[in-house]
Copies of this chain bind each other. A is one copy, B any other.
Amino acid sequence: MMNITFKQLRYFEALTRHGHFGRAADDCSISQPALSVQIKELEETLGVVLFERSARQVRLTGFGQEFAERVRDILRAVDELGDLARLAKDRMVGRLRIGVIPTVAPYLLPTLIHQLNAVHSGLDVHIRETLTQKLIAELLEGRLDTAIVALPVSEPGLVETALFEEKFVLVRSATDASAPVPSPEGMREMKLLLLEEGHCFRDQAVSFCNFRSPLPRDGLDGSSLSTLVQMVGAGIGVTLIPEMAVPVETRSAPVSLARFQGDEPSRTIGMIWRKTSPLAPRLLEIADVVRQAADQLRQQNTHLLPARPVSAA
């Protein structure tokens, strides 16, 4: 036997309102016979008569009344589906799950979240802070919509877009403030404090110093940039941090900052998401917001950063 269709319920509802086949049909912009047939088919499908037709009027049966109440609820729910979609289409709406690496999150997020709320109010932002590898895994599993990491990630299945570049600065004990800035090679002679394994920033720092073989483990890896800077302030060694971390991390420790000469070390921060993500257009907009947030941060912080020494050239 036939199935109940949505049209039938719409026609049924119109007929309950008008109590008249012709007028209900007009209301539905179809001919009267079309409506008659659909109502009849609905009744046959149900096996129950919904209307009592007399020459004078069309009236709901007892069952029809009960039926009509439920139908109204259903039609309203379906209309709401459309509304929901229309809203989701216009303003960006719903959950947006963003992953961020630990060496970026604490510095970028306050500004970023503020901007996101301003530009896309109604967006429900969820943040996940963890290492790049986990972010990529969660992204691929569909548990994140996008992630902010250091590029490149070169993961097939993901696309990446650059957001900004950030240079690394040298953090030394305050007492070393006037000492010459070492070259990358010179760094090898110094006690360089690094983040734990798994942080991409660790690898970036190591790569800059051209260490060839695995570093001797000395048990001094820090779990955050904050820890590293505190250790430097205690005179244990030197470290690198990204520009963006400067205002937050160097405020409360007796350290001095220095830029490198020549090619300064740096990394590119970017956004990644699944190639197949239907959010892609939205994510491009989000990426713009992130760029603006980073710009804003940079401008606020310029005065805190050390001037770049003029190269000897």
A81 / chain B contacts, CB cutoff of 8 Å: 4, 46, 67, 70-71, 74
A157 / chain B contacts, CB cutoff of 8 Å: 54
- A306 within 8 Å of B (CB atoms): no
- Which one of B47, B82, B94, B96 contacts A46 once the chains associate, using CB atoms below 8 Å? B82
- Which one of B46, B49, B93 contacts A278 once the chains associate, using CB atoms below 8 Å? B49
- A5 within 8 Å of B (CB atoms): yes
Within the assembled complex, what's the spacing in Å between the Cα atoms of A218 and B6?
66
- A73 within 8 Å of B (CB atoms): yes
- A220 within 8 Å of B (CB atoms): no
- A296 within 8 Å of B (CB atoms): no
A282 to chain B, nearest CB (A): 10
- Which one of B70, B77, B94, B276 contacts A66 once the chains associate, using CB atoms below 8 Å? B94
- A277 within 8 Å of B (CB atoms): yes
- A78 within 8 Å of B (CB atoms): yes
A63 / chain B contacts, CB cutoff of 8 Å: 84-85, 88, 93-94
- Which one of B49, B70, B78, B80 contacts A84 once the chains associate, using CB atoms below 8 Å? B70
- Which one of B5, B67, B142, B278 contacts A6 once the chains associate, using CB atoms below 8 Å? B5
- A3 within 8 Å of B (CB atoms): yes
Residue contact A78 to B279, C-beta cutoff 8 Å: no
Residue contact B4 to A52, C-beta cutoff 8 Å: no
Within the assembled complex, what's the spacing in Å between the Cα atoms of A67 and B77?
11
A135 to chain B, nearest CB (A): 18
A6 / chain B contacts, CB cutoff of 8 Å: 3-6
- Which one of B52, B53, B78, B278 contacts A61 once the chains associate, using CB atoms below 8 Å? B278
Given contacts A276-B53, A278-B52, contact A74 B77 (CB under 8 A): yes
Give A142's nearest chain B residue, CB to CB. Answer: B59
- A33 within 8 Å of B (CB atoms): no
Given contacts A62-B95, A85-B46, A94-B66, contact A276 B52 (CB under 8 A): yes
Within the assembled complex, what's the spacing in Å between the Cα atoms of A234 and B96?
90
Residue contact B67 to A84, C-beta cutoff 8 Å: yes
- A89 within 8 Å of B (CB atoms): yes
5 contacts between A and B (CB under 8 A): A3-B6, A47-B86, A49-B278, A52-B274, A52-B277
Besides the known contacts A63-B88, A66-B94, A67-B81, 12 further A-B residue pairs in the complex with CB atoms under 8 A apart: A4-B81, A5-B6, A47-B85, A48-B85, A52-B276, A52-B278, A53-B276, A54-B157, A54-B274, A62-B96, A63-B85, A63-B94
Interface residues, chain A, with chain B CB atoms under 8 Å away: 3-7, 46-49, 52-54, 59, 61-63, 66-67, 70-71, 73-74, 77-78, 80-82, 84-86, 88-89, 93-96, 142, 145, 157, 274-279
